[in-house]
Amino acid sequence: MFFNPELLPVAEPATKAVLLAARFVVGLSSSFDGARKRCSGFWIDWNEENKTGIVLTTAHLFSSKGCSIEQKGEGVEEEYAAYGEVKYYPHAKVTVHLPDGSATVGHLIYHQEQYDLGFFRVRVDQSVQLPSFNDGVKWGQLVLWLGRDAKFNLTMTHLRPGYMNPHIYERPHYMFFPGKEHIIKYDNGGPIIDLDAKIVGMINCHRSGSFIPSSVLLKCLDLWKEFGCIPRPQLGLAFSGIKLLDIVQVDKIWRKYKIDDGLIVNEVLKGSQAEEIGIRRGDIIECFNGQCISTTVQGEHLKEVRSNCYKTNEHNVAVCPPTTELVLHALEALVKQVMKLKPMDAAKIPKGHEQTKLNV
């Protein structure tokens, strides 16, 4: 790979980064209802005293869709089948395959369906290498995509990520690798690293080369470590970023509204609290709490509500509030920005973006 002309100038640091990261990349396999699946993952926590650690991977490993399928079973669809209702099998038998060739049982301790994350507790006799994270990945930055193949050997490729407006089967918190339509087999759930071997994202593909950027991933990990769960309010809204539209469309919006940044509201769920507070299809959200919003990934920060929403029970243990409470808090914060919403004629929403799935 490093003989590629694009990589020759960085061949040495790239080689070092891959070899260092290989120490925390593992393979995983699962079996449930006659199906067998494989994917990759990486260590995120380690307790030296009791020799147990936590491996993070994609929840596709034990779901009815997504992830590389070795053997189809009852209720398991083709790898890139259209995303509809997904069934999860939390009692699936999962094996974690370590870099030294050994294998051990993985015990599911939590999974988050909106982000498709699975956390597994693993006991091993040896110490493990934990990764470092880079909390931001830049558009066009050279990154390395890692995983483990069917024999659990390291796989890798190099790519340059970018932002896209999500389509109907894609999640708003994803970044994408333009032109990469399929993942390398079994890499789903593996890390994406920079040239310093720091994680900048996690591979979590449906149909296209998509991944969860580290800014979102770190927020999820912080919430899970502090509260044991990762709540994600569903606001009943779907967005498109103005800057990610065709440049001719961006120019038209600027000429008519003098706006060249922000999120267009493509859809408002009928009867939702967003509709009740007056948000309508065609509104443009320019900023939130004084910060400009350009992409749906940045829109995930609309849901950063933990400082005010989390409470403790009678034993002073943090507990997750009901989702409805989180939605109310997020919308209360958003409604303060209503004066900043500039209505855009719904009929003028750029063609091709009016059918986006309600995914926020």
- pLDDT, tens digit, for every residue of 40-94? 999 999 999 999 999 999 998 998 876 666 666 555 655 444 455 788 999 999 9
Rounded distance between C-alpha atoms, residue 188 and residue 9, angstroms: 28
CA–CA dist 282, 185 (Å, integer)? 40
Higher pLDDT, 235 or 309: 235
Q: What is the DSSP letter of 350?
A: P
Backbone angles phi, psi at 13, to 5 degrees: -65, -30
Classify 286 as helix, strand or coil: coil
Contact 101, 25 (CB under 8 A): no
Residue-wise pLDDT for 203-212, tens only, equals 887 556 778 8
Looking at residue 215, what is its pLDDT? 84
How far is the C-alpha of 106 from the C-alpha of 92, rounded, in Å? 10
Show the DSSP H helices in 122-228 as ranges. 214-227
Q: Which of 308, 109, 52 is nearest to 225 (CA)?
A: 109
Of the candidates 271, 273, 268, 270, the residue with the CA atom closest to the CA atom of residue 326: 273
302 vs 289: CA distance, rounded Å: 9
For residue 195, which amino acid is it?
A: L
* 10 secondary structure, DSSP code: G
**DSSP SS3 for 274:** helix
Is the pLDDT at 104 greater than 80? The verdict is yes
- The predicted pLDDT at position 107 comes to 97
For 14-40, what is each residue's pLDDT tens digit?
A: 899 999 999 999 999 999 988 889 999
Distance of CA 133 to the CA centre of its chain: 15
Residue 303 pLDDT grade (very low, low, confident, very high; cuts 50, 70, 90): low
Distance CA 45, CA 8 (A): 34
- H-only helix segments in the chain: 11-21, 214-227, 247-257, 273-276, 296-299, 306-309, 323-335
Query: With contact defined as beta carbons under 8 Å apart, do 200 and 297 qualify?
Result: no
- Sign of the Cα torsion 184, 186, 188, 192 reads negative
Query: Which domains does the chain show, CATH number per domain?
Result: 8-19+130-227 (2.40.10.10), 21-123 (2.40.10.10), 237-348 (2.30.42)
Mapping DSSP to helix (H, G, I), strand (E, B) and coil, where does residue 248 land?
A: helix
Closest CA to 31 of 75, 51, 61: 61
Rg (the chain; Cα; Å): 21
Taken in order 38, 220, 223, 335, the sign of the CA dihedral is negative
Q: What is the DSSP letter of 63?
A: B
Is the confidence at residue 118, as pLDDT, over 90? yes
* CB of 261 closer than 8 Å to CB of 243: yes
Distance CA(235)–CA(308), nearest Å, equals 17
Q: How confident is the model at residue 281 (pLDDT cuts 50, 70, 90)?
A: confident
| Chain length of the chain | 360
